[in-house]
Homo-oligomer: A and B are copies of this chain.
Amino acid sequence: MIRASNKVCYSGPEWMGREHCHECHFRQLEIFSELPDSAFENILEHIDHFLYPSDSVIYEAGTDKQHIYLVRHGMVKLVHITQDGAYRILRLLGSGSAMGLELLDGADRYHHTAIAIKQVNLCKIPVSAILQLESIHPALYHSIGQQLQDQLNLADQWIVAIGSGHASQRVARLLLILNEYFSDGDGAFILLSREDMAAMIGITVETVSRMIAEFKRQGFLLKNRGNLYTCDVTAMEQISRQHLSLS
């Protein structure tokens, strides 16, 4: 069982102010893309813009209740922690994703804990501002519905990816997901910690380590620079279908 790591940090995020909102790509974020300029004039004053360092907690399940968050840049994990301390990563969110949408549908608390993986740049928007915007611009409903649908698709894909197969297959599927959704322009992605990978695909840290090490030895996983890696997509796709036997 994977337990919550003690490496999380609760240090406060850096406040980036509000004046950035006018010129920022805010408007290109998915959920606002359909709205006219006029919609923002009275609403911007309520939106804060923050920078969260790696491993910092953005919100915890059951707290706050007042804001939803939009990821402008970076990478966030949504985590479920059970009473006995086991923790599972439910999904990864990147640029353009929204967090905390459950508050818009009558939930009285966050359903997950959100933790930054890479440094995260995000906007914090009061629920009341969203509700107000919705009533004036029904197009926002579409965008939020789209977000929910996207996350549902992610969750479904996750169930398929992790719900069956041997350890090598699950790790291969995880690498394919990282490659597809979280790679930079060069097709390189940050390799997560073994602990995070284990918490995502439901196997132990040691087994993840063995698989990753084996992939490296076989040349399927190559280090670029720093913690950036590229993977052999063809090989991974084959392994994701057919077990790679060690020994």
For the complex, what is the distance from the CA of A218 to the CA of B57, rounded to whole Å? 44
Specify which chain B residues have a CB less than 8 angstroms from the CB of A2 in the assembled complex. 164
For the complex, what is the distance from the CA of A141 to the CA of B148, rounded to whole Å? 12
Q: Determine the main DSSP class of A at the interface with B.
A: helix
Q: Which of A101, A107, A145, A153 has most B Cβ within 10 Å?
A: A145
Query: Counting CB contacts under 8 A, is A44 at the interface?
Result: no
For the complex, what is the distance from the CA of A125 to the CA of B145, rounded to whole Å? 19
Known pairs A149-B101, A163-B163, A164-B1; A156 contacts B106 (CB<8 A):
no
Scan A100-128; emit 1 where CB is below 8 A from any B CB, else 0: 01101111000110000000000000000
Q: How many copies does the complex hold?
A: 2
For the complex, what is the distance from the CA of A241 to the CA of B82, rounded to whole Å? 10
- Whether A149 lies near B102 (C-beta < 8 A) is yes
Q: How many residues of A contact B (CB 8 A)?
A: 39
Known pairs A164-B88, A202-B164; A146 contacts B106 (CB<8 A):
yes
Query: Counting CB contacts under 8 A, is A158 at the interface?
Result: yes
Scan A119-147; emit 1 where CB is below 8 A from any B CB, else 0: 00000000000000000001001101110
Query: Counting CB contacts under 8 A, is A177 at the interface?
Result: no
Closest B residue to A78 using CB positions: B156
Known pairs A159-B90, A162-B163; A149 contacts B105 (CB<8 A):
yes
Interface positions of A (Cβ within 8 A of B): 1-2, 80, 82, 84, 86, 88, 90, 101-102, 104-107, 111-112, 138, 141-142, 144-146, 148-149, 151-153, 155-156, 158-160, 162-165, 201-202, 241
Contacts A/B (CB < 8 Å), 20 sampled = A80-B156, A80-B159, A82-B160, A84-B241, A88-B164, A105-B142, A106-B146, A107-B149, A111-B156, A112-B156, A138-B141, A141-B141, A141-B145, A145-B145, A148-B152, A151-B152, A152-B155, A155-B155, A159-B162, A164-B202
